[in-house]
Amino acid sequence: MTDPLDQVFAALADGTRRRILTMLLEDDMAVTDVAEPFEMSLAAISKHLTVLTNSGLISQEKRGRVKWCKLEPQAMKDAIVWIESFGQFEALNLDAFERFLDQELPPDAP
């Protein structure tokens, strides 16, 4: 998967990774602090962090002996711009759709 947008959406597809991103909204965090609320190994959390890093959603930096994670908003902004491009379509008017069905379907239709 080489398309950056594909990588962002693949990273966002996992609930654990979305929770990690939410945690990083507050501030940069050490990897051990990121792992603390999860009931999984540090190795498993590291794999999630690698996916987030490869997608550009976070960056990791070693400060002394501690590896820190930082939210990188630009990758999310690119995904938001892509999603918002679909905002040009009007929401489906369900009342109008129901009237259309009433006109087109025979009265005894289920």
Model confidence at 22: pLDDT above 60: yes
Interval 23-42: pLDDT, tens: 999 999 999 999 999 999 99
Higher pLDDT, 109 or 45: 45
The owner of tokens 């025979």 is: 106
The number of CA neighbours under 13 Å toward the Cβ of 105 is 10
Name the CATH topology of 1-75.
Arc Repressor Mutant, subunit A (1.10.10)
The DSSP letter of residue 75 is H
Domain boundaries along the sequence of the chain: 1-75
Interval 48-99: pLDDT, tens: 999 999 999 999 999 999 999 999 999 899 899 888 887 765 566 677 777 7
- CA-CA distance, 48 to 62, in Å (whole number)? 17
Grade residue 104 by pLDDT with cuts at 50, 70 and 90: confident
